[in-house]
């Protein structure tokens, strides 16, 4: 019997504790559900706020990108304009140099034509039987040939110097354009 009494006593204690707690369970569940709903609402509000912040940032970045693209287009146009101006300048300078070359060539051809004419006259005079005349003509011809050789050597040297200076000037322009292009590329 002792066991039955103990079992009944334990059952009574448990039933009493359950009845005491049973009244709190709906209140606890309601409080828990209320807290859960408040947390879900807070999470939804935070999600909406983050989406709005993301959209604002996206709009700002899109505007910045559009500004950069428009600046890039303006810089492209400016660069093309500068390059075109430099090319026109180089072309005009090269045209002037070519004209100078052509003038010098024409002048030399004319001078050589005179020398040929003089040589032809000397050749015809040489054919004459008079030896004094022949000797004088040979002397004049030798003198003329020396002058022609000296003039040719002088002009050849001048031409070489002119070509070297033109090549140096062209290289300087090319290096200048490279530096400008590098600065533009770095700036971009």
Give the pTM. Answer: 0.34
Between the alpha carbon of residue 162 and those of residues 39, 102, 155, 156, the distances in Å are 88, 13, 10, 10
Containing structural domain, residue 84: 2-187
What is the count of structural domains for the chain? Answer: 1
In this prediction, residue 181 carries a pLDDT of 83
Structure confidence at residue 93 (pLDDT) = 87
Write down the pLDDT at residue 128.
Answer: 59
| CB contact set of 65 (below 8 Å; sequence gap of 6+) | none
Residue 104 CA to residue 110 CA, distance in Å, equals 10
Q: Compute the half-sphere exposure of residue 57: CA atoms within 13 Å on the CB side of its CA.
A: 6
Q: What pLDDT score does 44 carry?
A: 92
Give the residues of the chain that fall short of pLDDT 50. Answer: none
d(CA 32, CA 37): 9
pLDDT score of 126? 62
Looking at residue 32, the DSSP 8-state letter turns out to be H
């Amino acid at each position: 019997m002792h066991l039955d009494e103990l079992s009944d006593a334990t059952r009574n204690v448990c039933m009493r504790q359950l009845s005491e707690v049973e009244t709190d369970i709906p209140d606890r569940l309601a409080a828990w559900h209320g807290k859960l709903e408040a947390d879900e609402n807070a999470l939804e509000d935070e999600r909406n706020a983050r989406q709005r912040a993301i959209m604002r940032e996206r709009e700002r970045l899109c505007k910045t990108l559009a500004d950069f693209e428009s600046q890039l287009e303006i810089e492209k146009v400016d660069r093309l304009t500068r390059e075109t101006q430099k090319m026109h300048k180089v072309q005009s300078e090269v045209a002037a140099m070519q004209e100078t070359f052509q003038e010098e060539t024409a002048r030399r051809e004319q001078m050589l034509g005179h020398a040929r004419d003089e040589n032809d006259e000397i050749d015809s005079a040489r054919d004459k039987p008079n030896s004094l005349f022949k000797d004088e003509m040979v002397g004049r011809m030798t003198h003329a040939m020396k002058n022609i050789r000296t003039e040719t050597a002088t002009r050849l040297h001048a031409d070489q110097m002119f070509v070297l200076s033109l090549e140096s000037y062209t290289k300087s322009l090319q290096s200048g354009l490279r530096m400008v292009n590098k600065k533009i590329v770095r700036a971009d």
